[in-house]
Structure formats: C-alpha cells, structure tokens
Chains A and B, each alone.
Chain A
Amino acid sequence: GENVEQHPSTLSVQEGDSAVIKCTYSDSASNYFPWYKQELGKRPQLIIDIRSNVGEKKDQRIAVTLNKTAKHFSLHITETQPEDSAVYFCAASPNSGYALNFGKGTSLLVTP
C-alpha cells in the first residue's frame, strides 16, 4: 500500500518568514496530492491540492510543487502569519475519490 512520509514533524518560524514542508510517497499510481490544515480541536480542512499532470500550483501565499519522478511534493507558505500556526498534513491517493493516505503531520508555529 501507499506510504507517505512527511518532514519535519515540527517547524517554528518567525512571522514573515517562509515555511516549507516536504512529503514523499511510495506508490507510483498516486496522482492526487492534497494538503490539509488542522487547527487545535478542529477538523482537517483542505488548503490546496495538486494532480500529477501539474508540477506546481499556487494560491495566494500557499504553493505546492510536485516531482513525480522523485515521488515527492512540498508545501510552501510565504509571508507566514500567526494564524498559519496549525498542524499540516499531506496525503496521496490514486484519485480524489479514493481513500487518502496521510503523512504524520507537521506542527507549524509562527511566532510574532
């Protein structure tokens, strides 16, 4: 089955700096890669996703890059703000309608 590795497990940055979270996956059939943000005590919520026919996708301060050859994808957050503090999960799946295999999460802390 799919195995998704996520690094780092914790990340602390100063407000205004950039944050990068990296994930690798094992199943070459995976072609859908969402990122979820989970605030304390809340549900995971999708913040951005990418499919394998695209190498990069951007939405305001958030971007995701995908390298299918190397089987890794990354989340980039620029100009971080304290409200970006949360746990971020990457996931991989053969399709958005299939079960997601999640990474273990990255706890991001943005300090003012």
Chain B
Amino acid sequence: DAGVIQSPRHEVTEMGQEVTLRCKPISGHDYLFWYRQTMMRGLELLIYFNNNVPIDDSGMPEDRFSAKMPNASFSTLKIQPSEPRDSAVYFCASSTVADTQYFGPGTRLTVL
C-alpha cells in the first residue's frame, strides 16, 4: 500500500486566493482526519470523517475553511480566502476504528 497520499506537497499563494489541499487515505480505512501544525499551536485537529461523514468540525478555525469527503478514497480541505496566518503544514491521517492513525507527508502552505 502507498500509504496516505497528499497533494500538493508545497503550496505558495497570495493572500485572498483559494487553496485546495487533497488527501487519499489508505484503502480500507474508514476514518480520515485533517490536522494543522504550527510552531505556536502544535498539532491541531481541524475535522474528521467516519465513512465519509463529518463527525467533528469544531477545530475548523472559521468559515473560510471547509472540508469534504465525496467518497472513501478522497478528501479535500479548502481555504477561501486564504490569509497569511493560515501558513502551516497540513496533515491528513487515516485509520480504522481499532488501528493506528497513519499520517500523510503533509502539505506545507505559505500564504504571502
């Protein structure tokens, strides 16, 4: 298995632009998590899905952030409009109910 796949690996954009991050979980995993990592705040959960349904989005910072999981093999995290304070590494992770959470390689987002 290729593991959790994320794209792009790096994204540089200007303030106000829309950003879309993508994630493909490990096949057979029915939980998918989006985390954000910054030096100041550490690893923060943004949202997670079970069987493609959002379970907890209380970590989504504000309405500029949205996430979808249209099927079991794909999820997106969208920021519109982006702001410099959104600069961070965004990780996607997946798991089954009784297994380890496996992290993807992350997307390093820089908003200028």
Contacts and interface: CB of A to CB of B under 8 A. Distances in A.
Nearest to B99: A96
Nearest to A45: B103
A88 to B, nearest CB: 12
Contact of B91 (A43, A46, A103): A43
Nearest to B29: A97
Contact of B33 (A42, A99, A103, A104): A99
Given A99-B48, A100-B45, A102-B43, A44 B91 contact: yes
Contacts of A36: 103
A37 to B, nearest CB: 11
A87 to B, nearest CB: 10
B20 interface: no
Contacts of A34: 100-101
Interface of B: 31, 33, 42-45, 48, 50, 56, 91, 95-106
Given A97-B98, A100-B45, 18 more contacts: A34-B101, A43-B91, A43-B103, A44-B91, A46-B101, A89-B42, A89-B43, A95-B98, A96-B99, A96-B101, A97-B31, A97-B95, A98-B31, A99-B33, A99-B56, A102-B43, A103-B42, A104-B42
